[in-house]
């Protein structure tokens, strides 16, 4: 199918000549002799030209008014203007409205062909980005957060509300593997910035020196090895969403710089004397309690309060085991499609094993287990022998007298150890907070705070 070029030209001979020329070049050309005809073609016939080649002054008005109308309707395509008596004001307005170029008549045909070809490449790239955004919107709708439980429904309700408002910052909490990345993609691709970029970075994955350059960019010569200017990820995310995973690992001085960017919507790259204007929607995620870290001083309180305009905590999989009935078939179907497998039946013993397992790695661990089983499957039945679900690390812990033995094989995170210690102390003390606090050498207030944090029973005495 040929690409479409809309030609708006009131001079009949010139219009016919240009139309013939571009049809010979392989374009499908629609020729409109005035703005009324062009408006009917764009709005009533709903044509979607890749390039619009238009005279500036037409019998029934200025073509810039039509361009402005199309931009307000978010209609794509690159616009090139031809004029015999263009003014500086018109050229400035054309560029402000996003016109691709502004040429004076008479224009050499070879030069015009080069400009049209450049506009076609630009519009084609923009159209591909829009198609990709539409595909991502379908993949990351609100229902992408799967589950029939009350917890999953609550998350979807919050996500739906957030996609409808222009929020500036959001903190997503929850254990590792609960779906913070998925929630961010839903917010972006179903939200108001779906046409903009989504830039993701894990703050724990990069050293501090590299992270500053990655986030804020640098100029050539800013440090050894900086041979050219680099746009930082914050600048790259302008107009869209910046996702900072594990933001609690960000150094305090970088937190201060990030706070300034959020407040001023400007940043200064390393080694630069100028500031760059940015417009980002920031989603920060952490599996740690940022409020507690802010009170302790290991996270800037002012940044925490700026980020937590909205907050969303994702539930652990063990608190919504009923959602396995929706999650497992959906993930099996996904890996069937990827690996060309045909697993359709999940035996009862598999359902029982999954329901009994604690899922310390949450949905991420569930996906990994299902991927392994689907890849190793030989038919339509889900292979139970490849589940390989070990008992929870807490179950493998042992209490010997007054000594609690915990595994140090990496199966238990520091937070999980803390939770198990608090739970064990409360259980041994008959849930007497004072006695449990005494056995741990801490205060009732601290123990009660930690019990509440982990959802443990700590009744008033």
For residues 26 and 116, state if they share a domain. Answer: yes
Q: Which residues contact 243 (CB under 8 A, 6 or more apart)?
A: 181, 184, 188, 198, 199, 200, 201, 283, 285
Q: Can you tell me the mean pLDDT for 328-332? A: 95
Q: Per-residue pLDDT for 452 more than 80?
A: no
pLDDT tens profile 354-381: 988 889 889 999 999 999 999 999 999 9
In a domain, 459, yes or no: no
Greatest distance between any 2 Cα atoms in the chain? 100
Most confident of 96-105, 208-217, 238-247, 396-405: 238-247
Residue 149: what pLDDT? 93
pLDDT tens profile 164-185: 999 999 999 999 999 999 999 9
SS3 315: coil
- Which CATH number belongs to the domain containing residue 128 in this structure? 3.40.50.2300
The better pLDDT of the pair 193, 419 is held by 193
In a domain, 458, yes or no: no
In a domain, 461, yes or no: no
Q: Per-residue pLDDT for 214 more than 90?
A: no
The residue out of 386, 403, 438 marking a domain boundary is 386
For residues 76 and 200, state if they share a domain. Answer: no
List the domain range (segments joined by +) for residue 72. 4-136
Q: Can you tell me the mean pLDDT for 59-86? A: 84
Residue 133: what pLDDT? 67
The better pLDDT of the pair 394, 187 is held by 187
- Residue 195 to residue 126: CA distance in whole angstroms: 10
CB 87 within 8 A of CB 51: no
- Which CATH number belongs to the domain containing residue 433 in this structure? 1.10.10
Residue 412: what pLDDT? 64
The residue out of 90, 107, 136 marking a domain boundary is 136
- Residue 146 to residue 144: CA distance in whole angstroms: 6
In a domain, 72, yes or no: yes
Most confident of 154-158, 200-204, 207-211: 154-158
In a domain, 235, yes or no: yes
pLDDT tens profile 94-151: 778 888 888 888 888 999 999 999 999 888 888 887 777 667 667 788 999 999 999 9
In a domain, 266, yes or no: yes
Q: Per-residue pLDDT for 285 more than 90?
A: yes
DSSP 45-86: S----SEEEEESEETTEEHHHHHHHHHHTT---EEEEEESS-
φ, ψ dihedrals at 4, nearest 5°: -100, 130
DSSP 183-234: HHHHHHHTSTTTTS-EEEEETTSS-HHHHHHHHH-B-TTSSTT--S-B--HH
- Which CATH number belongs to the domain containing residue 274 in this structure? 3.40.50.300
Residue 182: what pLDDT? 95
The answer to which of 135-139, 299-303, 422-426 has the lowest mean pLDDT is 135-139
The answer to which of 48-52, 167-171, 206-210 has the lowest mean pLDDT is 206-210
Model confidence at 409, pLDDT cuts 50, 70, 90, reads low
For residues 154 and 110, state if they share a domain. Answer: no
Residue 399: what pLDDT? 63
Residue 396: what pLDDT? 54
For residues 11 and 128, state if they share a domain. Answer: yes
Residue 411: what pLDDT? 59
Q: Per-residue pLDDT for 43 more than 70?
A: yes
DSSP 386-406: G---PPPHHHH-EEETTEEE-
The rounded percent of the chain whose pLDDT value lies above 70 is 92
For residues 173 and 204, state if they share a domain. Answer: yes
pTM listed for this prediction: 0.66
The better pLDDT of the pair 385, 132 is held by 385
In a domain, 36, yes or no: yes
For residues 290 and 362, state if they share a domain. Answer: no
Model confidence at 424, pLDDT cuts 50, 70, 90, reads confident
In a domain, 102, yes or no: yes
Model confidence at 217, pLDDT cuts 50, 70, 90, reads confident
SS3 427: helix
DSSP 361: T
Q: Can you tell me the mean pLDDT for 392-411? A: 63
Model confidence at 256, pLDDT cuts 50, 70, 90, reads very high
CB 277 within 8 A of CB 233: no
For residues 278 and 158, state if they share a domain. Answer: yes
Average pLDDT score over the chain: 86
Model confidence at 1, pLDDT cuts 50, 70, 90, reads very low
Q: Can you tell me the mean pLDDT for 310-339? A: 93
State the burial class of residue 151 (Cβ atoms within 10 Å of its Cβ: 0-12, 13-18, 19+).
middle
Residue 134: what pLDDT? 67
DSSP 369: H
Domain tally, the chain: 4
For residues 149 and 234, state if they share a domain. Answer: yes
Q: Can you tell me the mean pLDDT for 18-24? A: 92
For residues 322 and 406, state if they share a domain. Answer: no
For residues 300 and 333, state if they share a domain. Answer: no
- Residue 190 to residue 272: CA distance in whole angstroms: 36
- Residue 393 to residue 240: CA distance in whole angstroms: 40
Q: Per-residue pLDDT for 271 more than 60?
A: yes
For residues 420 and 305, state if they share a domain. Answer: no
- Which CATH number belongs to the domain containing residue 362 in this structure? 1.10.8.60
Residue 107: what pLDDT? 83
For residues 40 and 115, state if they share a domain. Answer: yes
Model confidence at 74, pLDDT cuts 50, 70, 90, reads confident
- Residue 457 to residue 169: CA distance in whole angstroms: 33
Residue 410: what pLDDT? 60
Residue 398: what pLDDT? 58
Q: Per-residue pLDDT for 401 more than 50?
A: yes
The residue out of 136, 154, 181 marking a domain boundary is 136
Q: What is the CA radius of gyration of the chain?
A: 30
């Amino acid at each position: 199918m040929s690409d479409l070029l809309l030609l708006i030209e009131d001079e009949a001979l010139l219009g016919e000549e240009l139309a013939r020329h571009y049809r010979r070049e392989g374009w499908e050309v629609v020729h409109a002799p005035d703005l009324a005809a062009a408006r009917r073609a764009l709005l009533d016939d709903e044509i979607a030209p890749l390039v619009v080649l238009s005279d500036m002054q037409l019998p029934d008005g200025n073509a810039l008014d039509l361009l402005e109308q199309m931009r307000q309707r978010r209609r794509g395509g690159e616009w090139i203007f031809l004029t015999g008596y263009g003014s500086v004001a018109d050229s400035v307005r054309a560029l402000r409205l996003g016109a691709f170029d502004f040429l004076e008549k008479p224009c050499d045909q070879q030069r015009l062909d080069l400009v049209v070809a450049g506009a076609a490449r630009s519009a084609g790239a923009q159209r591909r980005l829009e198609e990709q955004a539409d595909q991502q919107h379908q993949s990351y709708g609100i229902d992408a957060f799967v589950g029939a439980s009350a917890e999953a429904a609550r998350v979807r309700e919050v996500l739906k509300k957030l996609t409808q408002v222009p929020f500036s910052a959001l903190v997503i909490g929850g254990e590792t593997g609960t779906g913070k990345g998925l929630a961010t993609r839903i917010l972006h691709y179903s939200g108001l910035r779906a046409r903009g970029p989504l830039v993701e970075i894990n703050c724990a994955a990069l050293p501090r020196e590299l992270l500053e350059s990655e986030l804020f960019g640098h100029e050539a010569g800013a440090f050894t090895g900086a041979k050219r200017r680099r746009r930082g990820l914050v600048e790259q995310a302008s107009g869209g969403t910046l996702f900072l995973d594990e933001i609690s690992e960000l150094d305090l001085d970088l937190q201060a710089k990030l706070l300034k960017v959020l407040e001023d919507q400007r940043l200064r790259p390393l080694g630069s004397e100028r500031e760059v204007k940015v417009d980002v929607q920031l989603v920060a995620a952490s599996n740690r309690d940022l409020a507690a870290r802010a009170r302790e001083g290991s996270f800037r309180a002012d940044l925490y309060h700026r980020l937590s305009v909205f907050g969303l905590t994702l539930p652990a999989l063990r608190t919504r085991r009923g959602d396995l009935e929706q999650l497992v078939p959906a993930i099996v179907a996904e890996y069937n499609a990827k690996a060309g497998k045909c697993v359709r039946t999940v035996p009862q013993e598999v359902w029982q094993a999954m329901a009994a397992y604690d899922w310390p790695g949450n949905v991420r661990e569930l996906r990994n287990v299902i991927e392994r089983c689907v890849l190793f499957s030989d038919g339509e039945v889900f292979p139970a022998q490849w589940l390989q679900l070990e008992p929870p690390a807490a179950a493998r812990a042992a209490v010997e007298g007054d000594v609690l033995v915990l595994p140090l094989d990496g199966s238990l995170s520091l937070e999980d150890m803390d939770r198990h210690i608090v739970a064990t102390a409360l259980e041994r003390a008959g849930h007497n907070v004072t006695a449990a606090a005494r056995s741990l050498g801490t205060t009732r207030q601290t123990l009660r705070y930690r019990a509440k944090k982990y959802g443990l029973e700590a009744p008033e005495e």
